[in-house]
Chains A and B, each alone.
Chain A
Amino acid sequence: MPPAGARSDDAAALIARIAQGDREAFSRFYDAFARTTFGLIRRVLRDSGPAEEVLQEVFWQVWQDASQFDPRRGSPETWLLMRAKSRAIDRLRSIRRREKTFVMPVDESVAHAAQPWADEPAAAVEGRGLLESALAQLPAAQRRVIELAFFEGLTQSEIAARLGEPLGTVKTRARLGLERLRGVLGGGRLQAT
């Protein structure tokens, strides 16, 4: 993989061209980031049916909103992945709401009955190994808060209620967890905190 800085510069240049309506730039941007974006969406949704739809939504919005990208706020990849995460969580919430309120639609009930999560083939999970091993280096309590918020879309209050911990503890664990994670992933400058 090229150095992150160079890659970000390239990606920022692509975004600028996409903002001008350059389809070739969009195609290259997609090729560069679709795999990580899809991996993240799948990690949140755990079902590739809607995952493909969400992926298309996210990249469609890249096409629409490229001019809103602000390099001062972070790299293009961060911009993209944070949006992908939000869309995936939106979708997850709407699925949950529906499952709570209504009978599952036919196709999903068939799919679930035939293939419970546990049957997910090793190949699909393999790509997530690195992510899981990064998370595994966090203390369990910090990891739990990050997973509940980032991958399951719970708010800090919901997490506090679910874990039976004070809100302040949840916030502290989120901060410590992310600080530790930054060290683990070796990204960014380490700050003395």
Chain B
Amino acid sequence: MNREEIRELAAVYALGGLDGEDRARFEALLHAGDAEATAALRDFESTLADLAAESAEAPPPSAKAHLMERIAAEGRREPPSAVVTPFRRRRALWPAVVAAAMAAGIAAIAVGLSISTSYEKRLDALAREAGALKAEIEREQQLLAMLSDPGTEIVALSGREPAPAARARMIWNAPVGGLLVAAGLPPAPAGKAYQLWAIVGKNPPVSAGVFTVDAKGTGSLRVAPLTGVGKVDVFAVTLEPAGGLPAPSGQMYLAGKS
């Protein structure tokens, strides 16, 4: 392989697009410690990192808060050994997904056997994909179960004065909890967040959680069952200090009767 060819493989590898025979060849070079391949890859990756660094965007503060909490709570786990049991043995709701994941796994193993680093890398990627799929399946299973339950109601919330175009759906099942999906809300100002309230008759509103929206104005909130709350008459969303308050204080953005 000449130098230019190595640099081409390194470029596509850095971009994440190297596949097939080329990928096996290039990974073999890296594995063998080939100086040209290693240097070219380092250069191209650093260029791409510089490119990526040109687009900075502040993440929501909740991201760091969650991470620091998780670190405090869980500490450091042993590095995950090759995850060979990505799916729990339970009803496979989506055989197609499982079959596709397994097929991808078999293919990955076939290719990876020749080079152990490539093998591990692929297993790693598969484990990540399997993890993401599993989370998705669980999330959608919950949603499906809820949607197919006759006790589930879907409440439409419409926009109020500050954001007349906003709208939301509350999928609610008292013993199970629910999901609020909102669109068209203005991003909450710094230090503020939206808070969802459940109102029963003339009782004071009960907080059902706080959420924020993304730059496009969409957001969602999983709601745990509200203990001691009977049949909810109204769901409403107000703008409150981040973290929420025990009772609403700000303007109402969304409301809907169940």
Contact = CB atoms under 8 A, between A and B. Distances in A.
Interface of A: 21, 23, 26-27, 30-31, 34-40, 42-43, 47-49, 51-52, 55-56, 59-60, 63-65, 73-75, 77-78, 81-82, 84-87, 89-91, 93-94, 97-98, 101-102, 105-107, 110-111, 113-115, 119-121, 123-124, 127-128, 130-131, 134-135, 145-146, 148-150, 153-159, 170-172, 174-175, 177-179, 181-182, 185, 187-188, 191, 193
Question: By CB atoms of chain A within 10 A, which of B38, B43, B184, B216 has the most?
Answer: B216
9 contacts: A48-B60, A56-B63, A86-B125, A94-B132, A131-B54, A171-B9, A174-B12, A185-B47, A185-B51
A144 B233 CA distance: 53
B133 interface: yes
Q: Majority SS of interface residues in chain B?
A: helix
A101 B16 contact: no
B171 interface: yes
Give the top 4 A-B pairs by smallest Cβ distance, nearest first: A114-B183, A48-B214, A149-B17, A124-B215
Contact of B56 (A93, A127, A179): A127
Given A75-B46, A94-B129, A115-B184, A159 B216 contact: no
B198 to A, nearest CB: 19
B57 A75 contact: no
A169 B14 CA distance: 17
A82 B47 CA distance: 11
A34 B59 contact: yes
A191 B148 CA distance: 62
Given A85-B16, A175-B7, A106 B167 contact: no
A42 B67 contact: no
B55 A131 contact: yes
A91 B125 CA distance: 11
B22 interface: yes
Interface stretch (B69-77, B224-232, B236-244, B248-256): B69-77
Contact of B67 (A56, A115, A178): A56
A167 to B, nearest CB: 8
Given A47-B216, A55-B63, A105-B139, 13 more contacts: A36-B53, A48-B60, A49-B220, A51-B214, A90-B125, A90-B132, A111-B218, A114-B167, A114-B218, A155-B19, A178-B15, A178-B48, A193-B7
